[in-house]
Structure 1
């Protein structure tokens, strides 16, 4: 085994490990962010009276757009922090697919590059297509 194959093999193994560990790290990170947001929410609004659930009131644009969620997170708004945690959770499988695409590209496995590109495009289209502008 020459040095080039050994180096390439190590890089492939590193990417495989990263792809395997990404979902766990993403779920743990998202859970921690949501937990922090929940704690902040309870500290600020825990003694508020119970809301009326007889009529549905949707969230305003601050919590349904990417910019609004990021802005509210920076302002330490508890609902914004919770929504940011949900965004991290949703981004986890998309990042895993993108990382897999990168790995298949390094391996020059063009069939899997094509299939993974299609899957990534479908995921991004369905995710971004649901956002309000």
Structure 2
């Protein structure tokens, strides 16, 4: 009976992770699309100037800056937020895997997943 319950919870976890990845990508795509539409509405008729290079504004160098730009209505900020959501989706998958391994008390996979999650979070923070 407990083996059946374990398989059921593993199956439920697989469904949860699958939905997390699916809906994460759908939401990220929708946010990028909406930001792109708003950007094109305001800048679609402008001719690009390739003679002058303009890098990303400094506030796009951190997740907090991206979120602030997006929630203040900046169109490029909305696009960047969608891309950030797309990056965060697999990170959330690793975090959910960690919870599953903790629940299963699988210490080897807990350690490996913590290392992977820390690496992802450090790279995401820009440090």
User: TM-score, normalization: structure 2?
Assistant: 0.87
The alignment yields a C-alpha RMSD, in angstroms, of 1.8
Q: Is the 8 A contact 1:101 1:113 kept in 2?
A: yes
Q: What is the correspondence of 1:91-110 to structure 2 with a 5 Å cutoff?
A: 91-110=88-107
Q: Could you tell me how far 1:12 is from its partner in structure 2? A: 2.7
TM-score w.r.t. the length of structure 1 is 0.84
Given the alignment, which residue of 18, 25, 28 partners 2:26?
Answer: 28
- In 1, distance between residues paired with 2:122 and 2:62? 16
Cα distance in 2 for residues equivalent to 1:56 and 1:46? 19
Partner of 2:115: 118
Shift of residue 8 of structure 1?
Answer: 4.6
| Separation in structure 1 between the aligned mates of residue 5 and residue 62 of structure 2, nearest angstrom | 43
Change over 3 Å in CA distance of 1:129–1:68 after alignment to 2: closer
State the Cα distance separating 1:6 from its structure 2 match: 5.2
Q: d(CA) in 1 for partners of 2:91 and 2:36?
A: 25
- SS of equivalent to 1:62: helix
Distance in 2 between residues matched to 1:63 and 1:91, nearest whole Å: 16
The answer for the alignment partner of 1:88 in structure 2 is 85
Structure 1 unaligned residues grouped into runs of 5+? none
Please list every run of 5 or more consecutive structure 2 residues that lacks an aligned counterpart in the other structure. none
Residue of structure 2 equivalent to 1:46: 44
Aligned residues: 127
CA drift of 1:41 comes to: 0.7
Q: CA deviation at 1:36?
A: 0.2
Runs of 4+ in 1 over 6 A off after TM superposition: none
